Amino acid sequence: MLRNKCFRLLLLLLPAFSWAQQTTEYPNDYLSPEFHAGRRTAFREMMPNNSVGVFFASQVRVRNNDVDYQYAQSKNFYYFTGLEEPNALLLLFKQPVTILGATGTEFIFVQNRDPQRELWTGKILGAEGVKNKYKIANVFTNDKFTANTFDFNTVDSVLTAFRGEDIFSKYKRSPDPLSRMAGIVDSLIILHNKPIAARTTNVILTSLRGIKQPEEIALLEKAAKMSCEGHNDVIRAIKPGMTEYQAQAIMEYHFKKNGSEYPGYPSINGSSENACVLHYITNLRLMKDGDLLLSDCAAEYHGYTADVTRTIPVNGKFTPEQKIIYELVLEAQDSGIAACKPGNPYNGVDAAARRVINRGLIKLGIAANEQEARQYFPHGTSHHLGLDVHDMGATGPRPLQEGMFLTVEPGIYIPPGSKCDKKWWSIGVRIEDDILITKDGNRNLSASSPRTVAEIEKMAKQKSIFDK
């Protein structure tokens, strides 16, 4: 009986749902093989002579007993290959070498087909599948990789980041092909006394991943759009008596409905004093009339994540004090976004936003000086976005360039017990948008979610698909 009632309710709701229109059996808007090949070529062009780049897939991690965490590929490995399977190794050489009878500069070792395993976890591509799907010429199964696969004496340096990627973690299963290959590489590096060019590796990866290509920007636009749809419906749906985790559920429903594989990071939904905890992810509190809700949530799409924050009144109307703090943060964000221009220093974005907040907090009597103001705005204004939510890219005084993609997210957080008038306590406000640096300025990819007090209060009066 209950099942029939739920089914009838679902039928009533369906017309209100705006499902994403997918016209093919599976999504077909992944990064192309040509994109990944181009990134490998770009990396090789920046490698020193007589060097090898070594990139491993991510480890499979044990969650508990016989259950693994959902697999997530190493972002560098994905950037260069597109492959989302474990137990794989990519070798990139500056000059052509011969390995297992094949000559070239690119070699990948992947897991073999296993019908019994595929029965439980899905299809494994195998060597031929990887070669056909990703257009990589020299593909071998990972059992072919041994200490004698190629002569380490032919290279002068190794470009890799694998020692910092926790491949040898205890949270893995045994036997483990990835650890076996990593152990071989590690032993050969030590045996032949080959230097690991860690700094060079990081410089090259930062240079490449910090400038987004058109295919990457298209995926980031989709991730930002999904994120904004979630934020907008939370603005419409939220009301006193709901919980933080219900806000999270509404948000992440919209991500998944539109094809997002995962949230880009653990969703932050903090109300009242919880909004003053920068990375609050417990999301258990019952929200009350007069609270603010800070929602820092975004979708990941085909490996690329947005990062969007909105702060909204739970009852749909800002109090006078909330409005003052909110509009100060918004002014700071507008100043930060205005500084997002090619040629301007990366850290100039933070400086522009911080000036506004410092001046405003001192004027309001919340802080006596800039040092005190910093305790209410304790984080940076920006970080790069892309394959990682805190992505690789130029920082400090280095200039912004066309194709960079970064957040602008100033905030003010006044927890209970702060050394200011109690009327400001438990106000936590962050506004975060995703800014693409363009040839002449910037473009806000998350602009479809309202930022001003008037726009938010107007949207709060609209109906959510969950109101029924």
pLDDT at 138: 97
Q: Is residue 218 part of a domain?
A: yes
Average pLDDT by stretches of 10, the chain with 468 residues? 40 42 86 98 97 94 88 96 97 96 97 93 95 95 96 91 74 78 91 91 97 98 98 98 98 97 97 98 98 98 98 98 98 98 98 98 98 97 98 97 98 98 98 98 98 98 91
- CA atoms within a 13 Å half-sphere pointing along the CA-CB vector of 147: 9
- 133 and 56 fall within a common domain: yes
Phi, psi at 118, each rounded to 5°: -65, -25
CB 96 within 8 A of CB 105: yes
User: 3-state DSSP call for residue 64?
Assistant: strand
Distance CA 455, CA 281 (A): 27
Closest CA to 152 of 190, 110, 206, 120: 190
- The radius of gyration computed from the CA coordinates of the chain, to the nearest angstrom, equals 25
- 131 and 254 fall within a common domain: no
- 396 and 423 fall within a common domain: yes
The sign one gets for the Cα dihedral 162, 166, 168, 174 is negative
- 285 and 269 fall within a common domain: yes
pLDDT at 140: 98
CATH number of residue 66's parent domain: 3.40.350.10
Distance CA 435, CA 416 (A): 33
- 130 and 258 fall within a common domain: no
Closest CA to 227 of 270, 259, 202: 259
Number of other CB atoms surrounding residue 367 within 10 Å: 23
Overall number of domains in the chain: 2
- 419 and 442 fall within a common domain: yes
Q: Is residue 53 part of a domain?
A: yes
- 182 and 265 fall within a common domain: no
Dig out the tokens for 90 from the structure.
Answer: 């990519």
| pLDDT tens for each residue of 332-365 | 999 999 999 999 999 999 999 999 999 999 999 9
CB 292 within 8 A of CB 319: no
Q: Is residue 467 part of a domain?
A: no
User: What does the H/E/C string look like for 217-279?
Assistant: HHHHHHHHHHHHHHHHHHHHHCCCCCEHHHHHHHHHHHHHHCCCCEECCCCEEEEHHHHHCCC
Q: Which residue has the tokens 């004090």?
A: 321
| pLDDT tens for each residue of 390-449 | 999 999 999 999 999 999 999 999 999 999 999 999 999 999 999 999 999 999 999 999
- 227 and 258 fall within a common domain: yes
Distance CA 167, CA 147 (A): 18
- 103 and 238 fall within a common domain: no
Annotated catalytic sites, by residue? 66, 279, 296, 307, 379, 383, 390, 409, 413, 430, 432
Q: Is residue 1 part of a domain?
A: no
In angstroms, the first-to-last Cα distance of the chain is 20
Phi, psi at 109, each rounded to 5°: -115, 125
Q: Is residue 26 part of a domain?
A: no
**Could you list the residue range(s) of the whole structural domain that residue 327 is in?**
211-460
